[in-house]
Amino acid sequence: MKKSGVRMSSLLLLSILTIVILVLVSAVLLFSRTYQQQLILTARTNSLRTVTQVSSTVNEYLSEISTVMQTLEEELSDAEEQRSDFFDVFLRIRPDVVAVSTYDAAGRLSHCYSSLGEPTGALSDSVNLSLDMERLRSEPEGYVSAPHVVTFFPDVYPWVITTVSQIERGTGERWIALDISCSNIANYISDSGIGRRGYCYLMDTDGNIVYHPQQQLIYSELKSEDTALTAALEDGSHVEGNVIYAIRTLSNGQWRLVGVSFLQEVLTESLRQLGTVLLLLAGLVLLAALVVSVVLSATLSHPLRDLESAMEAFEADADGFRYAPPRSGVREVRHLSASFHELVLKVQQLMKTVRDEEINLRKTELRALQAQINPHFLYNTLDSISWMCEQGKNAEAVEMVNALARLFRISISRGHELIPIRSELQHAESYLEIQAHRYKNQFTWAIDAEEPCLDYLCHKITLQPIIENAIYHGINGLVDDGEIRVSVREEGNDILFTVEDNGSGMTDEQIAAIMQKEQSDRAGIGIKNVNDRLQIYFGSAYGIRIESRPDEGTTVSIRMPKVQKEAEYEKK
Amino acid sequence: MRKNKLLLLLLLTILLLSACAGTSESSSPQYKIYLISKSTSTEFWRSVFAGANAAKAEYNVDLIIRGPETEENYLGQNMYIQEAVNNHADAIVFSAISYMENAPAIDAAAKAGLKIIVIDSDVNSSNVSARIGTDNIQAGRITASAALASEEEHISVGIVNFAQVSRNGEEREIGLREELEKDPRVEQIYTVNTVTDHDAAREGAVSLLEEYPEINVLIGLNEPLGVGVAEASEALDLSGRVRVISFDSNIRCIDLLRSGDVSALIVQNPYAMGYLGVETAWKVLEGQSFRPDQLIDTATSIITKENMFTVEGQKALFSFG
């Protein structure tokens, strides 16, 4: 439950986002596909519509031209005089007509009428691009030419398209050719844009370009049109790669109008708009997700995290933990917090009960132990006294008996749990006296107590188990003279007892064993009992510490607080 | 801490999205492009302007065309370069009258941040972004092949070239002489330098022809000079005896080609120069890069009486509308 795992709000947010994005993306894919197809269809329709419009205008122009041709043919039957007058007027009202020329059966120029002047150029080198005799051999009825320059005049070479027609009721003249300025057709076609970059151009059925809005660019070979492709296409709209071609054949049957527009342009323009909307939408969704996450975190995961850290705090320190359940928030979390609060109170109550019971149990146990006398000790002591009496060492025997009596008196202490340190030291002294006799003065001992300490209270039989341990484990079996030194001194608010010996010492394992083992082999109080008692009453900061070096001796220190009255201690 | 990161991430995404939405709307700005020509009076330059105007319409640029009256006035050109800088133009499409004398002004303009596109005639500057025009050495060679396309056994060539040290004139003569000298029939090559005006060229050509009557090939290396040599040949009634080769498609020359006074025209593609000049300027401004050491070659063709009225000949000679 530390920092691993995913946080709930993140998880929720993530799942919302995933779902939204999935839905959005699939919707976009689906929509854009249909949209794209729709767009292409619309573009094709638009393209075809424009081309149809332009082609009908050009058709009108062409029919106008054929009407003009008929008028001109009729006019040719007039006399020379009338003809020139007519052409003067005609050329003035039709500025798009560059020249009208007539030819005999051999293709020689008979007459030429033009606002540009007299036809001298064609006569000088007999180059005339306005009449294609070769073509007339296969199409004797007439034709409409590809663009070419007019070669009749020096100094001027305008680009024209020539309509050639056979003269029915001839007067020796066989053909009439009408040169029409390309710029007129240009007016119809150049302005007919399709979309932003699309345009129309005019070609003949073989795919030769008749007019293109960028004719000069094509002539300069800076642009090209794939006329081989468009010539092969039927009328109607076609999508070839990235380009939409809309094609209409004109009424003269020789020309075809091609509308060129670019799919890319149509699509990118529309898809960009779509993209903008989608991006905006995605932004809104993200914003919404942000708001949701903030709300979720405030209402759910934040209080839950508070609860979690409260639990951690409770785990760390069950005793000192205080919990105030939140008063606001989601109902579930509030219930959870209230339940937790209940739980905390119950656990703390239970803990208190258990501790109290433990203390009572220990007290009873210790009282029972303190009341016991080690039978071996008593038996050995009495045996020693009896032996002294037999030897006539009455004075020593008396001393021994006194010591024993003192020992027991202090042990009993009229049922008090705590006794003055002074008495405890007497108790220790008596015990040492007896043991010194028993061990035939194998060791010396000294008690050194600071005067102010003596009136404080301590547990009875605190020192005796330690001294007993020093004799049994330290002095016993020592060849040299043993020495046991007991001291009591103040240290701040604490009393520090130490029992030092210069015996054989203990290993760390032995120390651990002594500190843990219940006194089972012998009756009476063991070191562990002493330590337990101190810690139960005064807390873990107090108790016994053993320092020992093999062959150098052992120092046992007992730390306890200064206690002045028994009541003070009973309270704890 | 993690929550903050998540928030930051979300905010960033939103910012990014709005930025995307923002940029997708914007389009490129309208660039101001100056076209500074060598002259404004010849058909060659009018055709250049027509091409430039076609590109102007297509790329939606603000095109300003400037040029001196005559092809000697490089100081006038430098003034126009300064004008372009002062008017905060984005690029100059430039044709240098003087390879050397125009260079400092062009360098200054480039330093002011203008992109330089050279068309037709080069300038001695390392700040040129792209070069477009006729490969003039090659044009000189083509001219030589037209000059040598005769049955004559002894050939003497008279060349009328620009007086001003213009790079394209120099290069044309280099290519021309290089090819001529390879032919054993060529005995003499004379050059006269005149100002680029057809009257001056005619006078220069006439005095050259009078001084060296053995000349039987006469070449004018640009449009006014070409008209001048054609007029000289016509004036001295040398048609049939002297092969006249002119440059570019001046209407006078076309008529004289038709009448036989001019044998061949070396026709460049000025419309393409104008169009490509402006188009390339736009592309450079849009961030594309070109290799200025590699000329973008606009085609050059030989037009004679025989091919002048073919479909290709018409396209090369006569501008459309």
Write the pLDDT tens digit of every residue in B98-111.
Answer: 999 999 999 999 99
- B308 pLDDT exceeds 80? yes
Nearest CA in chain B to A146: B311
Please judge whether A283 and B17 are an interchain contact, meaning their C-beta atoms are less than 8 angstroms apart: yes
Taking the CA of residue A89 and the nearest CA in chain B, the distance in Å comes to 25
Report d(CA B215, CA B159) in Å as an integer: 10
Q: What is the CA radius of gyration of chain A?
A: 63
Query: Phi then psi for B185, rounded to 5 degrees?
Result: -70, -25
Q: What is the pLDDT of residue B26?
A: 43
Report the SS3 class of residue A48.
helix
Tens-digit pLDDT profile for residues A355-379: 888 877 877 776 666 656 567 778 8
Confidence at B24, pLDDT banded by 50, 70, 90: very low
Residues of A in contact with B318 (CB under 8 A): 149, 157, 159
| Residue B110 tokens, joined | 């480039």
Nearest CA in chain A to B15: A283
Q: What is the pLDDT of residue B36?
A: 95
Q: What is the pLDDT of residue B80?
A: 95
Cβ neighbour number for residue A28 with a 10 Å cutoff: 16
Q: What is the pLDDT of residue A564?
A: 84
Report the percent of chain A where pLDDT is more than 90: 7
Name the A residues in 153-192 with CB < 8 Å from any B CB.
Answer: 154-157, 159, 182-183, 186
Taking the CA of residue A463 and the nearest CA in chain B, the distance in Å comes to 58
Token pair 């001048």 is at which residue? B228
CB burial of residue A137 (10 Å; 0-12, 13-18, 19+): exposed
| Residue A142 tokens, joined | 């007439």
Q: What is the pLDDT of residue A367?
A: 66
Please judge whether A182 and B25 are an interchain contact, meaning their C-beta atoms are less than 8 angstroms apart: no
Residues A413, A455 contacting (CB under 8 angstroms): no
- Domain A372-571 in CATH 3.30.565.10: yes
Q: What is the pLDDT of residue A5?
A: 65
Q: What is the pLDDT of residue B14?
A: 61
Query: Phi then psi for A164, rounded to 5 degrees?
Result: -110, 135
Please judge whether B314 and A283 are an interchain contact, meaning their C-beta atoms are less than 8 angstroms apart: no
| Residue A274 tokens, joined | 């779509």
Confidence at A278, pLDDT banded by 50, 70, 90: confident
Confidence at B173, pLDDT banded by 50, 70, 90: very high
CB burial of residue B272 (10 Å; 0-12, 13-18, 19+): buried
pLDDT, average across residues A182-199:
79
Q: Going by C-beta distance under 8 Å and a sequence separation of 6 or more, which residues neighbour residue A220?
A: B51, B269, B271, B272, B275, B298, B315
Q: Of A430, A428, A437, A426, nearest to A397 (Cα)?
A: A437
Looking at per-residue confidence, does A126 or A495 come out higher?
Answer: A495
Report d(CA B65, CA B277) in Å as an integer: 12
Taking the CA of residue B117 and the nearest CA in chain A, the distance in Å comes to 18
CB of A117 within 8 Å of any CB in chain B? Answer: no
- B25 pLDDT exceeds 50? no
- B58 pLDDT exceeds 50? yes
- A203 pLDDT exceeds 80? yes
Select the residue of A219, A275, A286 nearest B320 (Cβ to Cβ): A219
Please judge whether B318 and A215 are an interchain contact, meaning their C-beta atoms are less than 8 angstroms apart: no
Report the percent of chain A where pLDDT is more than 70: 92
pLDDT, average across residues A328-349:
87
How far is it between the farthest Cα atoms of chain A? 194
Report d(CA A243, CA A264) in Å as an integer: 8
CB of A290 within 8 Å of any CB in chain B? Answer: yes
HEC secondary structure over chain B? CHHHHHHHHHHHHHHHHHHHHHHHHCCCCCCEEEEECCCCCCHHHHHHHHHHHHHHHHHCCEEEEECCCCCCCHHHHHHHHHHHHHCCCCEEEECCCCCCCCHHHHHHHHHCCCEEEEECCCCCCCCEEEEEECCHHHHHHHHHHHHHCCCCCCEEEEEEEECCCCHHHHHHHHHHHHHHHHCCCEEEEEEEEECCCHHHHHHHHHHHHHHCCCCCEEEECCHHHHHHHHHHHHHCCCECCEEEEEECCCHHHHHHHHHCCCCEEEECCHHHHHHHHHHHHHHHHCCCCCCCCCCEECCCEEEECCCCCCHHHHHHHCCCC
Angle, to 10 degrees, between the axis of helix B74-86 and the axis of helix B103-111?
10
Please judge whether B321 and A216 are an interchain contact, meaning their C-beta atoms are less than 8 angstroms apart: yes
Select the residue of A10, A148, A222 nearest B275 (Cβ to Cβ): A222
Nearest CA in chain A to B268: A220
Nearest CA in chain B to A218: B315
Q: Going by C-beta distance under 8 Å and a sequence separation of 6 or more, which residues neighbour residue A319?
A: A348, A351
Buried/exposed code over A72-99 (b: 16+ C-beta within 10 A; e: otherwise): bbeebeeeeeebeebbeebbeebeebbb
CB of A286 within 8 Å of any CB in chain B? Answer: yes
Q: What is the pLDDT of residue B1?
A: 45
> Which run of H or E residues covers position A484?
strand A482-491
Any idea how long chain B is?
A: 321
| Residue B84 tokens, joined | 């372009």
Taking the CA of residue B263 and the nearest CA in chain A, the distance in Å comes to 15
Please judge whether B320 and A148 are an interchain contact, meaning their C-beta atoms are less than 8 angstroms apart: no
Residues A99, A114 contacting (CB under 8 angstroms): yes
Report d(CA B251, CA B237) in Å as an integer: 20
Confidence at A520, pLDDT banded by 50, 70, 90: low
Nearest-5° angle of CA B155, CA B253, CA B176? 40
Stretch(es) of chain A classified as CATH 3.30.565.10? 372-571
- A233 pLDDT exceeds 60? yes
Residues A74, A82 contacting (CB under 8 angstroms): no
Tens-digit pLDDT profile for residues B60-87: 899 999 999 888 888 999 999 999 999 9
Name the A residues in 123-142 with CB < 8 Å from any B CB.
Answer: 124-125, 127, 129
Confidence at B267, pLDDT banded by 50, 70, 90: very high
Select the residue of A155, A183, A214 nearest B251 (Cβ to Cβ): A155
> Which run of H or E residues covers position A142?
strand A142-144
Q: Of A295, A195, A208, nearest to A246 (Cα)?
A: A195
Mean pLDDT value across chain A:
82
Q: Going by C-beta distance under 8 Å and a sequence separation of 6 or more, which residues neighbour residue A73?
A: A165, A167, A168, A176
Looking at per-residue confidence, does B130 or A113 come out higher?
Answer: B130
Cβ neighbour number for residue B185 with a 10 Å cutoff: 13
Cβ neighbour number for residue A166 with a 10 Å cutoff: 14
pLDDT, average across residues A484-505:
90
Please judge whether B269 and A220 are an interchain contact, meaning their C-beta atoms are less than 8 angstroms apart: yes
Report d(CA A438, CA A381) in Å as an integer: 7
Report d(CA A208, CA A245) in Å as an integer: 16
| Residue B71 tokens, joined | 């092809």
Please judge whether A148 and B25 are an interchain contact, meaning their C-beta atoms are less than 8 angstroms apart: no
Query: Phi then psi for A93, rounded to 5 degrees?
Result: -85, -15
| Residue A389 tokens, joined | 């009496």
- A35 pLDDT exceeds 70? yes
CB of A289 within 8 Å of any CB in chain B? Answer: yes
Q: Of A39, A50, A43, A56, nearest to A238 (Cα)?
A: A43
Confidence at A524, pLDDT banded by 50, 70, 90: low
Chain B: residues touching A (Cβ < 8 Å): 2-3, 6-7, 10-11, 13-14, 17-18, 20-21, 24-25, 50-51, 54, 251, 254-255, 258-259, 269, 271-272, 275-276, 298-299, 305, 309, 311, 314-321
CA distances from A262 to A39, A129, A243, A396 (A): 12, 36, 5, 132
Please judge whether A124 and B51 are an interchain contact, meaning their C-beta atoms are less than 8 angstroms apart: no
Q: Of A411, A352, A358, nearest to A533 (Cα)?
A: A358
Select the residue of B255, B275, B318 nearest A149 (Cβ to Cβ): B318
User: Count of CB contacts below 8 A, A vs B?
Assistant: 101
Report d(CA B162, CA B198) in Å as an integer: 11
Q: What is the pLDDT of residue A2?
A: 45
Number of H helices, E strands in chain A: 17, 18
- When mean pLDDT is compared across A471-485, B50-64, B293-307, the lowest value belongs to A471-485
Q: What is the pLDDT of residue A521?
A: 53
Taking the CA of residue A112 and the nearest CA in chain B, the distance in Å comes to 20
Taking the CA of residue A300 and the nearest CA in chain B, the distance in Å comes to 14
Q: Of B98, B127, B146, nearest to B247 (Cα)?
A: B146
Please judge whether B21 and A297 are an interchain contact, meaning their C-beta atoms are less than 8 angstroms apart: no
Quote the DSSP letter at residue A161: E
Report d(CA B147, CA B264) in Å as an integer: 8
Token pair 């009338």 is at which residue? A82
Query: Phi then psi for A229, rounded to 5 degrees?
Result: -70, -50
Cβ neighbour number for residue A412 with a 10 Å cutoff: 12
Confidence at A310, pLDDT banded by 50, 70, 90: confident
Please judge whether B14 and A283 are an interchain contact, meaning their C-beta atoms are less than 8 angstroms apart: yes
- A522 pLDDT exceeds 70? no
Cβ neighbour number for residue A227 with a 10 Å cutoff: 19
Residues of A in contact with B2 (CB under 8 A): 7, 10
Selected residue of A8, A120, A152, A216 to mutate for chain B interface (largest B Cβ count, 10 A)? A216
Selected residue of B53, B239, B320 to mutate for chain A interface (largest A Cβ count, 10 A)? B320
Residues of A in contact with B7 (CB under 8 A): 290, 293
Q: Going by C-beta distance under 8 Å and a sequence separation of 6 or more, which residues neighbour residue A374?
A: A522, A523, A524
Residues B273, B300 contacting (CB under 8 angstroms): no
Selected residue of A219, A291, A292 to mutate for chain B interface (largest B Cβ count, 10 A)? A219
Residue B186 β-bridge partners:
B155
Selected residue of A6, A209, A220 to mutate for chain B interface (largest B Cβ count, 10 A)? A220
Q: What is the dihedral of CA A24, A25, A28, A32, to 10 degrees?
A: 180
Q: Going by C-beta distance under 8 Å and a sequence separation of 6 or more, which residues neighbour residue A571?
A: none
Nearest CA in chain A to B317: A157
CA distances from A241 to A43, A46, B250 (A): 14, 18, 42
Confidence at A519, pLDDT banded by 50, 70, 90: low
Q: Which domains does chain B have, with CATH numbers?
A: 32-134+269-290 (3.40.50.2300), 136-267 (3.40.50.2300)
Buried/exposed code over A364-377 (b: 16+ C-beta within 10 A; e: otherwise): eebeebbeeebeeb
Residues B188, B154 contacting (CB under 8 angstroms): no
- B52 pLDDT exceeds 90? yes
Report d(CA A307, CA B214) in Å as an integer: 116
